[in-house]
Structure 1
């Protein structure tokens, strides 16, 4: 969680666990409300707005989550205004979109008008900015880049799309992609650094698909830059060196301009910073 002052500087940041309980589907909501109360106990200033960053599909007014398949049961009926009595201005937004807003602010990219954000972690999140405005589409679905198809012959994902981008590189499928040998992308990358042939093969296949996805998105949207965030960035050169090599192979560059990749800087605070900025924009 992040609290920003009127100059949009973070004055208080804390991390909390949602403590999901399979026997209590709404435990995440109880944890969130307790965490909000604890956070605000340490803040005695005027609270103008609250922004919440969560996975799922938000409505265009950023007042509710419409759908979150397979996770956070009950989120589509949750009343976000009950988070605090100190303000009724509570907005909620998809975490990928929030991350984009936070990165544009933190990296002083206010002059950039066309951007695509990819968050590469448990799954693949995303967000799109066109002409300086967050693009949400006709029904708010836009930006769910992790659910584009990279292999139609594979199993369907949570949205019904087979062989999704998310399943090709997300941490949630690493055990399946390695036949149970690895349970995290971090462990896989550690063995890549040790020149393990199996680890290198799996890793490069994932990075190749990442390059194909980026090149495909570039052909559709032609952004000024792609901002890459998420835990996968911890791989450093093991990620970017092969990624740039694959982009050379797959990108269409009729003007001889390479696709621009920018690492995110906000880390785990990306969503909370972006959500706070969103809330302020409605105050």
Structure 2
């Protein structure tokens, strides 16, 4: 049995899974980030609750969190200005169990690869489309974390070098700026405050909304095509809240991919909707620790 924890700014989500990925228990508690690091006690409370429910030994704990883990995946080494007390905190010592820490987007990838739509695939890219754009990369069946564990930050590739708007890491014309919900007011000159409102207006025939939405999807297709050229994955998995736009996303994306993707021999990169939703981080964290210990 394995415990998976997804540490978010608002809630802590926890699960117990067995080796087959069956979720035996899931639980939510508020993070309560008051700035003094006391939120870590809530993580311990979650672990105690899940262990008491199970009433038998666990093999390990996986923790999904924002930021960049250290090389051994023992802690989050870099996350400025959020969740005070997270950086360099050694969770294994604190929780008294073998504990592995993973970036939250990497956890979402692991959930899909181990138990979801990318099961049995060897080369996969996942993009999370939400407030920003995150991602993860699987190469030859292994999570690729790269130097400083920062691989997979695919929202910070550039899809328009002439656009001087920069992402949080300073990249001009980033994919994250092009489609992330955080930039929607700037991209629409204040006309829309959420991507959901933009998509609804597009569906109702608002020409400005349609122009803005399709421009964003065009840049997403350019980004995916660029990633495909660099990594040649078997599958690209799309996750996150924006994917709930369904056909309003996937139909124009298919059209733009037909324009931009290089397809030697007629082979297309398969683009699929993620299977896991709200609990993807916790499931992926548990899958990661399972891969480490079995």
> Which residue of the other structure, out of 17, 42, 47, is the alignment partner of 1:4?
17
Shift of 1:222: 0.6
Shift of 1:73: 3.4
Counterpart secondary structure, 1:118: strand
Matches within 5 A, 1:135-150: 135-150=144-159
Distance 1:73 1:198, change over 3 A: farther
Q: State the alpha-carbon separation in 1 of the partners of residues 86 and 158 from structure 2.
A: 26
Aligned to 2:29: 16
Structure 1 gaps, min length 5: none
Aligned to 1:129: 138
Tell me, yes or no, if the aligned pair for 1:36 and 1:83 is still in contact at 8 Å.
no
Shift of 1:28: 4.3
Distance 1:161 1:190, change over 3 A: same
**1:233-281 CA-partner distances (Å, limit 9, x unpaired):** 1100000000011111111112212221011011111111110011223
Aligned to 1:242: 252
Aligned to 2:278: 268
Q: State the alpha-carbon separation in 2 of the partners of residues 180 and 38 from structure 1.
A: 45
Counterpart secondary structure, 2:147: coil
Tell me, yes or no, if the aligned pair for 2:112 and 2:119 is still in contact at 8 Å.
no
Q: State the alpha-carbon separation in 1 of the partners of residues 85 and 255 from structure 2.
A: 43
Aligned to 2:235: 225
Q: State the alpha-carbon separation in 2 of the partners of residues 163 and 231 from structure 1.
A: 22
Larger proportion of strand: 2
> Which residue of the other structure, out of 61, 64, 75, is the alignment partner of 1:64?
75
**1:28-86 CA-partner distances (Å, limit 9, x unpaired):** 4344334434444433221221101112112232111122244333322222225534x
Counterpart secondary structure, 2:28: coil
Aligned to 2:195: 185
Q: CA RMSD in A?
A: 2.0
Aligned to 1:211: 221
Tell me, yes or no, if the aligned pair for 1:18 and 1:27 is still in contact at 8 Å.
no
Aligned to 2:44: 33
Q: State the alpha-carbon separation in 2 of the partners of residues 209 and 20 from structure 1.
A: 35
Q: State the alpha-carbon separation in 1 of the partners of residues 56 and 165 from structure 2.
A: 50
User: TM-score if structure 1 supplies the norm length?
Assistant: 0.90
Matches within 5 A, 1:68-83: 68-81=79-92
Distance 1:195 1:35, change over 3 A: farther
Aligned to 1:255: 265
Distance 1:17 1:207, change over 3 A: farther
Counterpart secondary structure, 2:125: strand
Distance 1:215 1:33, change over 3 A: same
